[in-house]
Amino acid sequence: MTTIVRSRTELRTALAVAPRPVGLVPTMGWLHDGHRALIRRSRSAEATTVVSIFVNPRQFGPGTDYTKYPRDEARDVAICESEGVDIVFAPAVDEIYPPGFDTTISVKGVSGPLEGAARPGHFDGVATVVAILFGLVGAERAYLGQKDAQQVMVIRRMATDLAIATEVVACPTVRDPDGLALSSRNVHLSPAERAAAPALRRALLAGRARWAAGERDAETLRDAMFETLTQEPLIDVDYVSVADGSTLAELDRVDGPALLSLAVRFGTTRLIDNEPLG
């Protein structure tokens, strides 16, 4: 039986009688098979699984897609029920940020490049809401997607620095058969854009192939990714990156663990993907 709670108090009451250990899967809803994979990982390891559904206004920049972000709570709850989720926490904005709320969690270094540079304030919003969720749920573990690799790094840093005992478990990216990473934003792609979108994966695999063949010059790997993307006229490249696997600083040479990543736009729809190396 899935219990749906909307307030901090109801959540605490439900958790007080929930068997431990507890796993948390934080989401913004519009659940897909990527979210289902996180839920299943949690269910296989934890006695209680909590899914939060909250489209967090603080992680969207002004004039970006907060209002057009897809929402369908009834469908999301049905998916959680079918996956055996124990508790769904679906709060209103005022419940997370009540009147007087005046705290921002700002992780420095690893929040700076890539998505942090492209979306100013984004990771402050993410770190703040996840700190609240971690504090409220007190889970033993939280299950996050490797698709948002930088987000995983930011949240790990935040939890370590704030002495929050929740361990962050990063789970593999779930993809459609043609390689496109599942994302709630894929719903906004036109048929032509959807047909072009596997180029993201092809670009990352082109970079990986050059690296596997011995190429260590980072700019050559970036060029390989960029050229693959620009073969699709519907794609506007936001960035391609070959970055250090722990700091996310852009590399000149790939001599250790690294992260290939990219962000593109199809019109107003922005998609990201990544591939770890080493």
- Residues between 199 and 238 with contacts to ligand AMP, criterion CB under 6 A: none
Q: Between 48 and 183, name the residue whose CB sits nearer to ligand AMP.
A: 183
- Determine the interface stretch with ligand AMP among 106-114, 182-190, 225-233, 266-274 (rule: CB under 6 A): 182-190
Cα separation of 206 and 208, whole Å? Answer: 5
Q: Which of 92, 202, 107, 100 is nearest to 152 (CA)?
A: 107
Token representation of residue 187:
């719903």
> Could you count the other beta carbons within 10 Å of the beta carbon of residue 63?
7
Least separation in angstroms between CB 209 and ligand AMP: 22
For CA atoms 214, 254, 225, 273, the dihedral sign is positive
Least separation in angstroms between CB 130 and ligand AMP: 10
* Type and span of the H or E element at 201: helix 199-212
- Residues between 15 and 54 with contacts to ligand AMP, criterion CB under 6 A: 27-28, 34-35, 37-38
Among 107, 158, 174, 224, binds ligand AMP (CB under 6 A): 174
Do 93 and 66 touch, CB atoms closer than 8 A?
no
Residue with tokens 């250990």: 21
Q: Between 37 and 131, name the residue whose CB sits nearer to ligand AMP.
A: 37
Do 223 and 231 touch, CB atoms closer than 8 A?
no
Residue nearest to ligand AMP (CB): 145
Residue with tokens 């690296």: 211
Q: Between 58 and 147, name the residue whose CB sits nearer to ligand AMP.
A: 147
Number of residues that bind ligand AMP (CB under 6 A): 17
Q: Between 76 and 254, name the residue whose CB sits nearer to ligand AMP.
A: 76
Q: Between 11 and 130, name the residue whose CB sits nearer to ligand AMP.
A: 130
Catalytic residue among 32, 35, 122, 188: 35
183 part of the interface to ligand AMP, by CB under 6 A: yes
Phi, then psi, of 229 in degrees rounded to 5? -65, -40
CA atoms within 13 A on the CB side of 273: 27
- Residues between 131 and 160 with contacts to ligand AMP, criterion CB under 6 A: 144-145, 147-148
Q: Is 122 a catalytic residue?
A: no
Least separation in angstroms between CB 129 and ligand AMP: 10
Among 49, 111, 173, 274, binds ligand AMP (CB under 6 A): 173
> Could you count the other beta carbons within 10 Å of the beta carbon of residue 183?
23
Q: Between 176 and 250, name the residue whose CB sits nearer to ligand AMP.
A: 176
Cα separation of 127 and 277, whole Å? Answer: 26
CA 171 to chain centre: 10
Interface residues with ligand AMP (CB under 6 A) are 27-28, 34-35, 37-38, 144-145, 147-148, 171, 173-174, 181-184
**Which positions are catalytic?**
35
